């Protein structure tokens, strides 16, 4: 995003009250200008094509055409960064996760009561999310959302055949430093943020059902979203996926999603590796934090780790990943071309932690080979 011009925002919401609230909140920062307001998904599609905004805020429940339908059309015809405005309800959470799978860059939670006060209190966070989204790369890559176009009730189960094949990994030259197998690995650690839910689906659904190590996922996400995200991933992945609870002994063949709003750490015990989940004590801006988890993994396992950093804003986890590499871990970063936001993987590359940067479509295959 060019710093010498304003970020052009299109607001899509059927509520006049919410359109006004969002307008006042967004325009309180001089970096933004509202270029249009749509009251339903059909208007949104037309205005995106005509106005070509830098970023769209999209409500979910609207008449004529809802936000998910509009998002799917926009991402296929006029790919544009979209930030969903979502209520913190069970149905709102599920719809938001679906939107992230369909290509939305991020979401802004909204309270069902006292909405104006709630949103204005988080104005700085919203401005940051919109700036990040406006700079994000979105595309209508063929096959990138084929899996999520399947209705939820038809999602892939452990005991059924996949509804659609996983994207075929592109051939990537193997760097001289990559071993044929990384036998010392005792855990697979994955960090992600903005753009992560969609990237996680691509990677985790491509892992074999007999993976010999446990997988720990740290995705920046609020408390009410990580559990439903784990459930959705569980429907799509050969491995069992769950939101990890305090005191869980982690096992191979399982994927553990760290809960939002808390900090999670791995500890070595006489019974094996245990995850401790505790309230954040001000140690990180992110809850959960890749840095906090990564440092605990280094404490427990040294370099016996395969670590992967996917798309995300900022640099959370880069110090821990450098420590892991220095101890002998193998570190992979998602490459710039396929990252929605090339922040966290860039930090891992720039500080020398990453052995290699790979396109998203290659990562699952490389993990599978290293952990075979």
Measured distance CA(129)–CA(105) in Å, rounded? 9
Residues 6 or more apart in contact with residue 38 via CB below 8 angstroms: 10, 11, 12, 13, 44, 46, 47
Residue 248 C-alpha from the chain's centroid: 23
Active site residue 284: no
Residues 6 or more apart in contact with residue 188 via CB below 8 angstroms: 211, 213, 214, 215, 216, 305, 306, 307, 308, 367, 371
| 3-class state of residue 229 by DSSP | helix
Active site residue 193: yes
Active site residue 316: yes
Q: Which phi and psi angles does 235 have, rounded to 5°?
A: -70, -20
Q: Considering 86, 87, 192, 193, which one is annotated as catalytic?
A: 193
The region that residue 50 occupies, defined by phi over 0 for left and psi between -120 and 50 for alpha, beta otherwise, is alpha
| H or E element at residue 325 | helix 318-326
Q: Considering 304, 316, 335, 362, which one is annotated as catalytic?
A: 316
Q: Considering 54, 59, 202, 220, which one is annotated as catalytic?
A: 220
> Would you please indicate which residues are annotated as catalytic (active-site) residues?
193, 220, 316
């Amino acid at each position: 995003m060019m710093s010498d011009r304003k970020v052009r925002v299109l607001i899509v919401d059927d509520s006049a009250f919410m359109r006004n609230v969002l307008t006042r909140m967004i325009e309180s920062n001089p970096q933004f200008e509202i270029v249009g307001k749509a009251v339903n998904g059909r208007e949104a599609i037309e205005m995106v094509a005509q106005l070509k905004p830098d970023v769209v805020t999209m409500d979910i429940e609207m008449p004529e055409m809802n936000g998910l339908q509009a998002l799917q059309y926009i991402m296929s015809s006029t790919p544009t960064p979209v930030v969903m405005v979502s209520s913190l309800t069970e149905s709102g959470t599920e719809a938001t996760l679906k939107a992230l799978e369909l290509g939305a860059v991020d979401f802004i939670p909204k309270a069902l009561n006292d909405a104006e006060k709630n949103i204005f209190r988080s104005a700085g966070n919203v401005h940051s999310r919109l700036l990040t989204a406006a700079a994000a790369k979105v595309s209508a890559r063929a096959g990138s959302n084929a899996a999520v176009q399947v209705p939820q009730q038809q999602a892939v189960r452990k005991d059924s055949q996949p509804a659609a094949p996983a994207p075929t990994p592109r051939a990537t030259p193997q760097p001289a430093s990559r071993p044929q197998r990384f036998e010392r690995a005792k855990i697979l650690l994955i960090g992600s943020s903005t753009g992560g839910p969609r990237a996680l689906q691509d990677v985790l659904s491509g892992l074999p059902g007999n993976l010999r190590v446990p997988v720990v996922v740290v995705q920046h996400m609020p408390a009410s979203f990580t559990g439903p995200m784990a459930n959705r991933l569980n429907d799509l992945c050969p491995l069992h996926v769950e939101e990890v609870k305090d005191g869980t002994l982690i096992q191979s063949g399982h994927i553990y999603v760290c809960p939002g709003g808390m900090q999670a750490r791995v500890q070595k015990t006489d019974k094996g590796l245990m995850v401790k989940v505790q309230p954040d004590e001000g140690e990180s801006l992110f809850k959960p934090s890749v840095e906090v988890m990564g440092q605990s993994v280094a404490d427990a396992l040294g370099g016996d780790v395969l670590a992967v950093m996917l798309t995300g804003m900022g640099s959370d986890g880069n110090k821990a990943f450098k420590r892991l590499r220095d101890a002998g871990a193998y570190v992979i970063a998602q490459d710039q071309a396929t990252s929605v936001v090339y922040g966290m993987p860039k930090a891992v590359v720039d500080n020398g932690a990453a052995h290699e940067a790979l396109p998203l479509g290659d990562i699952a295959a490389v993990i599978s080979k290293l952990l075979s």
